[in-house]
Amino acid sequence: MYAFDYQKAGSVSDALAALKAEDAQPISGGQTLIPTLKARLAAPSALIDLSGIAEMKGIEVAGGMVKIGGAVTHQSVADHAGVKAAIPALAQLAAHIGDPAVRHKGTIGGSVANNDPSACYPSACLGLGATIHSSAGDMAADEFFQGMFATALDAGQIVTGVSFPIPEKAAYMKFVQPASRFALVGVFVSKGAGGVRVAVTGASESGVFRWTAAEDALAGNFSPDSVPPAPAADGMIGDIHGSPEYRAHLVAVMTKRAVKAC
Amino acid sequence: MTKISMKVNGEAVSGEVEGRTLLVQFLRDHLGLTGTHVGCDTGQCGACVVHVDGESVKACNMLAAAADGAEVMTIEGMAAPDGTLSVIQAAFQEHHGLQCGFCTPGMVMSAADLLNRNANPSEAEVRAYLEGNICRCTGYHNIVKAILAAAATLRGEAVAAE
């Protein structure tokens, strides 16, 4: 790692003030950022630690919504009785990110802000039609995620929380890349007031996306048999773990499994 | 340089670290607690697992300064001061849950974390909980057996000899 200064932020306003310094960068659980720094793929002048900010640590289930603070760890989401009762698919998703030691540190805000093309949480945000709360205001997930590692946030802005509308039913199915436990392909399906949503992670070179052809088909008949044939392989990720065609095929398979599990 | 202090295995310690100093470097190089191992240094193998405020974390994937004020437990804190092994360590010995021993500190700390959360895990739950701990010798079988035996002992059940 290149050298940097480290500062724990006590509040959101503290963090935003500290992030005004040139090349300062936020760190939350650090489970992605620290390996990135070790590989010298980033050289921040300072890391501003958001993980101890009390106002970003709550979980509220009320008024048909589950609101999770940005600094809440995956394990806390997985264990939360209110989340398990309201959106079991979300608790289950959190319970299968990485491994236990990673889940004790990694946070929802970090995952959402990083928007790794294979991360699990972005698919839940998009698949449930969540609202992303940030220091730049509230944004619909549909506008927030803007491609691989890209979001609507600019440097110096942070994700402070996520609100998920409670669906009628939902399920997340992940085909894991066995070494990293990232999603080779993961599909989050929900049916609720906003209709049917199908969000896919791990597959596209443009990051998490909604598979609208499947949404339309499932809106007519919510059954695994309604899932259309695999989407085109164009623009799908191809690497040593799987070809674009393989990933495209998995999108349809995992969507069927998710619908069945709903 | 930042001055940090924390409790490690119940003892108050402090030191001066750079922002980029990892918790595992602080434990091993500053405090001389070399029981916590660095295997992959990429957050995947789990040889560096310690407990921070009661939960397992990968000490190679956490900054030392982030642990300022925390309570840390390492493998050195598991046995009694007179050297009597903890129930989990004794079970690893009894059930031959290690060969080269490099992964063992992390395995024991992850096992302790599991048993803190779940006193009566199934074999499948033990295997799932160890997904972030890699062992290249044992094939995991005896590690799982040791953890199940330790769980039974901690619950006060007699463990059948093999």
**CATH number of the domain that A222 lies in?**
3.30.390.50
Q: Which residue of chain B has the CA closest to A43?
A: B20
Q: Which residue of chain A has the CA closest to B111?
A: A100
Q: Which CATH architecture has domain B2-77?
A: Roll (3.10)
Which residue type sits at B135? C
Which residue type sits at B40? C
Angle at A253 between CA A234 and CA A202, to 5 degrees: 55
Domain boundary, last residue among A34, A49, A64: A49
Which pair of tokens denotes residue A78? 């997985």
Q: Which residue of chain B has the CA closest to A105?
A: B57
Establish if A229 belongs to a structural domain. Answer: yes
Contact B45/A at CB under 8 A: no
Please tell me chain B's helix, strand, coil percentages from 3-state DSSP, rounded to the nearest 5: 40, 15, 45
Which pair of tokens denotes residue A140? 């619909």
Q: Which residues of A touch B49 (CB under 8 A)?
A: 101
In the three-class reduction of DSSP (H, G, I as helix; E, B as strand; rest coil), residue A110 is classed as helix
Q: Report yes or no: A100 and A106 within 8 Å, Cβ to Cβ.
A: no
Establish if A3 belongs to a structural domain. Answer: yes
Per-residue confidence in pLDDT tens, chain A, 262 aa: 999 999 999 999 999 999 999 999 999 999 999 999 999 999 999 999 999 999 999 999 999 999 999 999 999 999 999 999 999 999 999 999 999 999 999 999 999 999 999 999 999 999 999 999 999 999 999 999 999 999 999 999 999 999 999 999 999 999 998 877 789 999 999 999 989 999 999 999 999 999 999 999 999 999 999 999 999 999 999 999 999 999 999 999 999 999 999 9
Establish if A221 belongs to a structural domain. Answer: yes
Cβ–Cβ gap A181/B131 under 8 Å: yes
**CATH number of the domain that A22 lies in?**
3.30.43.10
> Where along chain B do the CATH 1.10.150.120 domains lie?
87-154
Cβ–Cβ gap B66/A102 under 8 Å: no
Establish if A161 belongs to a structural domain. Answer: no
Cβ–Cβ gap B61/A47 under 8 Å: no
Distance from C-alpha of A121 to C-alpha of B74, rounded to nearest angstrom: 31
ipTM above 0.85, yes or no: yes
Domain B87-154 has CATH 1.20.1080.10: no
In the three-class reduction of DSSP (H, G, I as helix; E, B as strand; rest coil), residue B88 is classed as helix
What is the domain extent for residue A178? 169-261
Establish if A23 belongs to a structural domain. Answer: yes
Q: Determine the pLDDT at residue A18.
A: 98
